[in-house]
């Protein structure tokens, strides 16, 4: 069984855990109505956190930061020799937790844009799952009324809260909801992938670490900087960290 250590990766404390561990901890904390924040991260927010101290502080305040991308998983292995079998991919984690929440009769609460589409998909996949949510309607962070969200999400029913508004905005929202007594997981584009609003990379591309190429092709204007600038910069910094640690 994998137990979560924390490995410093470019200033961010990443835990090399698996789907089973994360799901079990989320379900357990939902039953006990305890705050438990989980942040699947790719290379992009890690690189951003180098120049954004507030983002770094927020990420490191979460209970679990987990490797969402193949490159974060490989970086842990390269630097520390962590033999993690697979990454913990946000969309797959989302469905895995929903499947277990249905069995445990735990409510799912969604925060994102156009959430009716992903709610429809979840109702088809897991008919007994109770799904509620709050549609952010494309609002920017400054327009989101945190008190309204806390009142809407904080009731007596055990629940798990998913935020799907993309990185890094979802992490700032997670931090603002740190008084909510339930697990909160930021799952990025999982809502769009699960609902079919956006195409998902074929499984073979995901396993080969080529998902970035597929997403760059589908959304070049939005994602070019993330994958063509931040991606290579992440690799350079990982190599640099490895060299620095080897000299100590």
Indicate whether 51 belongs to any domain. Answer: yes
Indicate whether 2 belongs to any domain. Answer: no
Indicate whether 173 belongs to any domain. Answer: yes
Q: Average pLDDT for residues 213-235, to the nearest whole number?
A: 94
Indicate whether 180 belongs to any domain. Answer: yes
Indicate whether 200 belongs to any domain. Answer: yes
pLDDT of residue 142: 62
Cα(161)–Cα(163) distance, rounded to whole angstroms? 7
Q: Check whether 1 has a pLDDT greater than 60.
A: no
Q: Average pLDDT for residues 115-140, to the nearest whole number?
A: 89
Output the CA torsion sign for 207, 208, 212, 215.
negative
How many C-beta atoms surround the C-beta of residue 136 within 10 A? 22
Indicate whether 171 belongs to any domain. Answer: yes
Share of the chain above pLDDT 70, in %: 91
Residue bearing tokens 């740190």: 178
> CA-CA distances (angstroms) from residue 200 to 34, 67, 71, 230?
33, 18, 18, 21
Q: Which domain holds residue 100?
A: 7-247
Number of domains making up the chain: 1
Indicate whether 145 belongs to any domain. Answer: yes
Cα(66)–Cα(22) distance, rounded to whole angstroms? 9
Share of the chain above pLDDT 90, in %: 74
For 133-166, what is each residue's pLDDT tens digit? 888 876 666 666 676 666 666 666 778 999 998 8
For 192-206, what is each residue's pLDDT tens digit? 999 999 999 999 999
What pTM did the predictor assign? 0.91
Indicate whether 1 belongs to any domain. Answer: no
Task: For Cα atoms 217, 231, 216, give the angle at the middle one, nearest 5 degrees.
Answer: 5
Token pair belonging to 49: 């956190």
């Amino acid at each position: 069984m994998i137990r979560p250590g924390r490995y410093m990766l470019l200033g961010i404390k990443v835990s090399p855990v698996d789907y089973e561990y994360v799901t079990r901890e989320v379900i357990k904390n939902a039953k006990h109505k305890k705050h438990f924040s989980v942040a699947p991260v790719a290379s992009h927010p890690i690189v951003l956190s180098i120049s954004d101290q507030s983002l770094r502080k927020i990420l490191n305040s979460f209970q679990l930061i987990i490797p969402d991308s193949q490159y974060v998983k490989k970086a842990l292995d390269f630097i520390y020799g962590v033999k993690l079998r697979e990454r913990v991919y946000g969309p797959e984690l989302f469905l895995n937790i929903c499947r277990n929440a249905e069995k445990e009769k735990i409510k799912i609460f969604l925060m994102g844009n156009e959430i009716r589409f992903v709610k429809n998909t979840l109702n088809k996949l897991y008919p007994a799952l109770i799904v509620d949510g709050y549609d952010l309607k494309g609002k920017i962070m400054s327009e989101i009324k945190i008190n309204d969200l806390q009142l809407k999400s904080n009731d007596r029913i055990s629940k798990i809260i998913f935020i799907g508004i993309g990185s890094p905005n979802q992490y700032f929202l997670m931090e603002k909801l740190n008084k909510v007594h339930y697990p909160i997981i930021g799952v990025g584009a999982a809502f769009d992938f699960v609902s079919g609003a956006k195409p998902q990379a074929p499984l073979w591309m995901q396993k080969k670490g080529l998902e970035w190429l597929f997403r760059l092709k589908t959304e070049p204007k939005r994602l070019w900087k993330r994958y063509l600038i931040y991606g290579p910069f992440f690799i350079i910094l990982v190599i640099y960290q490895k060299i620095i640690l080897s000299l100590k």
